[in-house]
Amino acid sequence: MSLTSPDQERAKRAAATAAIERLAEWKAGPECALGVGTGSTTNCFIDMLHELEEPPAVLVASSEATRRRLEEAGFGVTALADARRLDFYVDGADEAAPDKALIKGGGGALTGEKILVSVSAAFICIVDRTKVVSGLGAFPLPIEVVPLAKEVVAARMESMGGRVTVRPELSEYGNVILDVKGIDLSDRDSMEVEVNNLPGVVTNGLFAAHRPKRVIVGLPSGGCEIL
C-alpha cells in the first residue's frame, strides 16, 4: 500500500501518538527505563515524549542518531551498562508481518536495536500502514558482518538464492552491512538463528525471537490498528 508523503507522515504521527498513550496507560513514569529505537517513525515518538506527564527518567538510545535526537529534545540519555534492563522499548520497522515478525535495520542500527529489545520487558513497534506486509522479504534483509567475513557470508546468502548488495557505509561499530533479497523467510525463527550462526555475522535484521508485544499501525486518517 503506497501513501502520499503527507498521508504517510500523518500515519507515522498517529502511531507515535498511540505509543505515547499506551505508555501512559501502562504507567510508564520516571521510575521506568525506556529504550528508544532508530528511524523516522521513532523520531516522531521522540518529539512527542514530552507529552507524557512524567517521562521515564532513564532513556537508552539504540544509535548515535537517536542519542542526538533525544538530547536535542531536552532529554538525558543513559548508557545501557548503567540501565541494565528496560521496562519498555519503542521502535519502528521496515516490514511487519501479521504474526508480528519484523524486518528491521534499514537505517543501519540493527545491532543496537536487537541488543536493546533483548533486555526489554515489553517491545512496542510503531509503523505506518505501508510497512505491514503479508509476508516478509520485499524489503532486503540487513545482515551486519565483520569485514573479514563479508565475502564468505555473501557467498552463503547467494547459495541460498539471495541477491546481495553491500552498503557503502559501515555500521556504527565499523562493520559491513549486507542487504539480501530473495531468500525464503517463511520460517523466520529458524532463518534468524541460521544466519546469526554463520561465522562473522554480528546479527541480522529479522526480529522473530523478540517479537513486539504490540505492533501499532498508523493510518493516514490519523487512526490506528493493532496487530
**Which residues are CB-contacts of 63 (< 8 A; sequence separation ≥ 6)?**
38, 107, 108, 109, 112, 113, 172
pLDDT at residue 5 in the model: 87
pLDDT at residue 62 in the model: 99
Active-site residue, 169 included = no
Q: What angle do CA 173, 177, 182 make, to 5 degrees?
A: 155
- For the chain, the residue count is 227
**Which residues are CB-contacts of 197 (< 8 A; sequence separation ≥ 6)?**
none
pLDDT at residue 147 in the model: 98
Residues 102 and 207 sit within 8 Å (Cβ to Cβ): yes
| pTM (predicted TM-score) | 0.95
**Closest residue by Cα to residue 125 from 8, 22, 47:** 22
Residues 45 and 14 sit within 8 Å (Cβ to Cβ): no
SS3 82: helix
Q: What is the pLDDT along the chain (227 residues), one digit of tens a residue?
A: 567 689 999 999 999 999 999 999 999 999 999 999 999 999 999 999 999 999 999 999 999 999 999 999 999 999 999 998 999 999 999 999 999 999 999 999 999 999 999 999 999 999 999 999 999 999 999 999 999 999 999 999 999 999 999 999 999 999 999 999 999 999 999 999 999 999 999 999 999 999 999 999 999 999 999 99
155-181 pLDDT per residue, tens: 999 999 999 999 999 999 999 999 999
pLDDT at residue 143 in the model: 99
Catalytic residue among 51, 71, 113, 192: 113
pLDDT at residue 84 in the model: 87
Partners of residue 132 on adjacent β-strands: 96
What domains lie within the chain, and their CATH numbers?
5-134+209-226 (3.40.50.1360), 141-204 (3.30.70.260)
What is 109-165 written as a DSSP string? -HHHHHHHHHTBS-EEEEEEGGGB-SSS-SSPEEEEE-GGGHHHHHHHHHHTT-EEE
